């Protein structure tokens, strides 16, 4: 039996990059009985509203074959460790039983790229000697950090997908706890559905 994961994301760049990243993580883990559907996009300022998130989850559940829903968006200045559980609680109160997880990238998804920037050297104009900042998830402006570091600048809709495809996420997860949470949540979701 094949299981279908439907991602819900916030930005134009994540519509392609998050499903592709999930497919890569599943393939790297030798998990071939899961597929990732096209993402549902909603603005971040609306995703933090429980009624909107519930509506988007219901939309995902109506996709043929939907087995699970994965919500991924930037925490920005919110505390991911508070907002994520609060949103999950609202889903439980609404009676949503489809396996789901909510992962908030601390500050920005680009912090994950900063966390593993050594594996991105030479890719898309990233200098061969670029080192990651001390605490990538503490930086407000990871996109700008990348923009300053890359020869042609950083454009999320052009660069995020190829950089996530190149990222050594097994090493980056130790510097980016929200990336680690995403990887643990994917593994847990697979276990629950199997």
CATH number (domain holding residue 127): 3.40.50
Q: Is 38 exposed, middle or buried (0-12, 13-18, 19+ CB in 10 A)?
A: exposed
Encoded tokens for 56:
């988007």
Q: Is the pLDDT of residue 194 over 90?
A: no
Whether the Cβ atoms of residue 118 and residue 106 lie closer than 8 Å to each other: no
Q: Rounded distance, CA 50 to CA 94, Å?
A: 9
- The domain total for the chain is 1
Structural domain of residue 80, as residue ranges? 3-193
pLDDT value at residue 69: 98
pLDDT value at residue 90: 96
pLDDT of 46-105, one tens digit each? 999 999 999 999 999 999 999 999 999 999 999 999 999 999 999 999 999 999 999 999
Outline where DSSP puts E strands in the chain.
Answer: 3-9, 34-36, 40-41, 66-74, 100-105
pLDDT value at residue 53: 98
Report the pLDDT averaged over residues 140-154. Answer: 96
pLDDT value at residue 152: 95
- Measuring CA to CA, which residue among 108, 110, 92 is closest to residue 100? 92
pLDDT value at residue 171: 96
pLDDT value at residue 1: 83
For the chain, helix (H) and strand (E) counts, in that order, are 9, 5
pLDDT value at residue 159: 98
Encoded tokens for 2:
């094949």
Report the pLDDT averaged over residues 148-165. Answer: 97
Rounded percentage of the chain residues whose pLDDT exceeds 70: 100
Q: Rounded distance, CA 143 to CA 66, Å?
A: 32
Report the pLDDT averaged over residues 133-147. Answer: 95
- 157's CB contacts (< 8 A; 6+ apart) are 12, 13
Q: Rounded distance, CA 119 to CA 117, Å?
A: 5
Q: What is the DSSP letter of 153?
A: -
């Amino acid at each position: 039996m094949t299981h279908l994961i439907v991602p819900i994301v916030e930005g134009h760049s994540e519509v392609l990059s998050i499903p592709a990243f999930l497919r890569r993580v599943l393939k790297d883990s030798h998990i071939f009985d899961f597929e990732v559907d096209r993402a549902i996009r909603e603005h971040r300022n609306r995703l933090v509203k429980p009624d909107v998130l519930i509506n988007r989850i219901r939309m995902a559940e109506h996709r043929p074959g939907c087995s699970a829903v994965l919500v991924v968006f930037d925490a920005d200045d919110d505390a991911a460790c508070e907002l994520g559980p609060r949103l999950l609680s609202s889903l439980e109160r609404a009676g949503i039983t489809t396996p789901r997880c909510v992962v908030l990238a601390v500050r920005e998804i680009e912090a994950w790229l900063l966390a593993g920037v050594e594996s991105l050297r030479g890719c898309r104009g990233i200098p061969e000697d670029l080192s990651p900042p001390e605490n990538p998830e503490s930086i407000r402006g990871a996109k700008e950090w990348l923009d300053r570091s890359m020869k042609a600048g950083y454009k999320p809709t052009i660069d995020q997908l190829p950089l996530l495809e190149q990222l050594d996420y097994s090493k980056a997860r130790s510097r980016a706890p929200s990336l680690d949470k995403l990887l643990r949540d994917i593994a847990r979701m697979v276990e629950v559905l199997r």
